[in-house]
Chains A and B, each alone.
Chain A
Amino acid sequence: MITMAKQGDWVKIHSVVLEPFERAKNLPEDTKKVPLEMWINGFLKKNGEINDIVEITTLSGRTVSGKLVEINPRYTHDFGDPVPELLKIGPILKKQLEKGSA
């Protein structure tokens, strides 16, 4: 894995916005225990290494600093697996539509 990023590379940074004790009142117990974390993508301002605190220029033109966590960050969502519980629906409905309409 590449851990060095060059100036101008598209990267993802991470930071903690609020520690648990700084968070809003009236949060559910599970949320209260964890910090409010943030990730932002942008162009790296100076060469840096994974885990370094770096500065980026975001797509809106802001300068934001945080820990460098990913270089050329991937979009991880996909179409998932075929779902048998859904796949059976089409044939059932088509058969129902055909019935009595011949």
Chain B
Amino acid sequence: MYEDVIKRKNEIIQKAVGIDYSKFEIEGIAFDYDRMMKEVSYTIEEIRKIQSETQVGNTPLVELKNLTKLVRKVSKPGKGARIFLKDEAANPSGSFKDRRASVSVYHAKNHGYKGVIAATSGNYGAAVASQAAKYGLRSIIVQETFDSNHVGQPEILEKGRACEAYGAEVVQLTVGPELFYYTLKLLDETGYFNASLYTPFGIAGIETLGYEIANQVKSRYGKFPDVVLVTHAGGGNVTGTARGLKKAGAVDTKVVGVSVDLRGLHMASDHDFNRKSFTTGHTGFGIPFSAYPDRVDVPRNAARSLRYLDRYVLVTQGEVFFTTEALAQIEGMMRGPAGNTSLTAALSIAREMDEDQMIVVQETEYTGAGKIPSAQLTFAKKMGITVKNGDSIKEDVPGKVIAIPENVEQIGIIEYSLENLKKSYVKEAMKAYGKQKFSAAEMKFMAEDTNSNLEQIEKNIEEVSKDGKA
């Protein structure tokens, strides 16, 4: 039964997204990404119009003056960039995911689909459900919610409640990648649109976020931001934001991806599932999806983060809880916590930068029961995790210890080498396509897809082959 459905994957998906991906194939790993992004979706002007009609976007950009002041107190003289926050929690369902959902659901409605389906345990579910409500479509959200003891991750339980509140049917599953199998079955059964996170629609929807940031900063301060920090998971947030910045002309703005460090926890493990306090924005998605973007539920992933990342850093769970508390206590904004992942890194990166420079943190998310730090930390303690104050970078151990800093000075970041990620990309490509030699077209594609050059790709292929023999 499982195998039968998986075998029909391409046929089911093609019908459920209405995109003929074969049009963009070149050969092997290579496909025409730019043409796909241009032809399949809508222009940024069209998307701005679609989004404004459903109250998505045009969110406030807030200067975090107190946090900036605190950062400057622990920085060298003249250092401590101004920190701005794009308050994406102001979107209808409370996160930037409304941008993503808005285009998919609009497209589904205009193409005669009666409903939409999304496989997501994150804010995206509520976004799809909310947009579906606006367009009068049915919606089904498939979530990975429980471990085998029927213990639910509080944040995911909350997202399930939110989806239901917007009128979606919520399918709650135990841990495992077969969530995808059940989603395929539902798509096949209902004929609904697959509001995948990874179609060109979903990514184009986020472009307005980068576009707005560039324009808001430019119109207020006469220049584009120096750095934009983006919480990095499946790659859509990075890809869409970076493309939007470029479309607004902010070509010199550095795009830094930030993930919560959950290295060491297995994302498909029944045991590990409830031993993490973050269900998205973490390395369990950030690293593998960068290295092998096409591992998703559509033939070609429109989210390709290595094309756009200038730097990738990690923060700990304890640091994000600190930052979430700080944002509430001294800026009066209760948000997150997962949505504060990149804000956490801002507290450290701002110290490297000059006072007249500007950092924009590009998201916040709504909070509440299940999500709020006290809910997550109470749950973590119940699951046997040690929660304490301390030096988070040194003491935090995913799945075992959450060490929460007590002041801004203790906030640090862990650099994750983009060169290593690019090498992993080549390794995954060699594995997926079962070869060590690629055609000229494939080499050119891999260079573009990793924002590197042919020499680097050749060098990485050579090194991966050598590592394999060693």
Contacts and interface: CB of A to CB of B under 8 A. Distances in A.
Interface of A: 17-18, 22-24, 27-28, 30-31, 33-42, 58-62, 75-83, 85-86, 88-90, 92-94, 96-97, 99-101
A86 B182 contact: no
19 contacts: A18-B181, A28-B269, A31-B175, A35-B148, A36-B173, A41-B169, A41-B170, A59-B170, A60-B139, A60-B168, A62-B189, A77-B370, A78-B154, A79-B369, A79-B372, A79-B375, A90-B330, A93-B70, A97-B70
B437 interface: no
Interface residues of B, number: 65
A60 B388 CA distance: 44
Given A37-B146, A77-B369, A83-B373, A28 B406 contact: no
A27 B176 contact: yes
B173 A81 contact: no
Given A31-B269, A35-B174, A79-B369, 18 more contacts: A24-B2, A28-B270, A34-B174, A36-B176, A38-B173, A39-B172, A75-B161, A77-B157, A80-B374, A80-B375, A80-B377, A86-B321, A89-B404, A89-B406, A90-B328, A90-B329, A92-B407, A96-B70
Nearest to A76: B157
A83 B175 contact: no
Nearest to A38: B173
Given A79-B374, A85-B387, A90 B161 contact: no
Nearest to B172: A39
A58 B117 CA distance: 14
A80 B157 contact: no
Contacts of A40: 169-172
B181 A60 contact: no
A78 B369 contact: yes
Contact of A86 (B157, B173, B370, B373): B373
A31 B268 contact: yes
Contacts of B329: 89-90, 93-94
B88 interface: no
A35 B321 CA distance: 34
B66 interface: yes
B125 to A, nearest CB: 13
Contacts of B292: none
A86 B330 contact: no
Interface in B150-209: 150, 152, 154, 157-158, 161, 164, 167-178, 181-182, 189-190
Counting chain A CB atoms within 10 Å of each CB, the highest count among B150, B269, B270 belongs to B270
Interface in B264-282: 266, 268-271
A27 to B, nearest CB: 6
B389 interface: yes
Contacts of A35: 148, 174
A41 B378 CA distance: 27
A93 B266 contact: no
B168 A77 contact: no
Nearest to B69: A97
B210 interface: no
Given A23-B2, A83-B378, A93 B181 contact: no
Nearest to A17: B182
A58 B189 CA distance: 14
B178 A76 contact: no
B250 interface: no
Contacts of B378: 80-81, 83
Given A30-B271, A36-B178, A83 B2 contact: no
Contacts of B389: 85, 88
Contact of A97 (B66, B189, B190, B373): B66
Nearest to B375: A80
B169 A42 contact: yes
B322 interface: yes
A77 B154 CA distance: 6
Contacts of A31: 175-176, 268-270
Contacts of B387: 83, 85
Contacts of B168: 59-60
Contacts of B157: 75-77
B65 to A, nearest CB: 10
A96 B407 contact: yes
A33 B375 CA distance: 30
Counting chain B CB atoms within 10 Å of each CB, the highest count among A22, A62, A86, A93 belongs to A86
Interface in B117-166: 138-140, 145-146, 148, 150, 152, 154, 157-158, 161, 164
A78 B369 CA distance: 5
A41 B141 CA distance: 12
B376 interface: yes
Contacts of A81: 374, 378
B49 interface: no
Contacts of A78: 154, 369-370, 375
B430 interface: no
A18 B73 CA distance: 56
Counting chain B CB atoms within 10 Å of each CB, the highest count among A33, A40, A85 belongs to A85
Given A34-B270, A59-B169, A62-B169, A97 B330 contact: yes
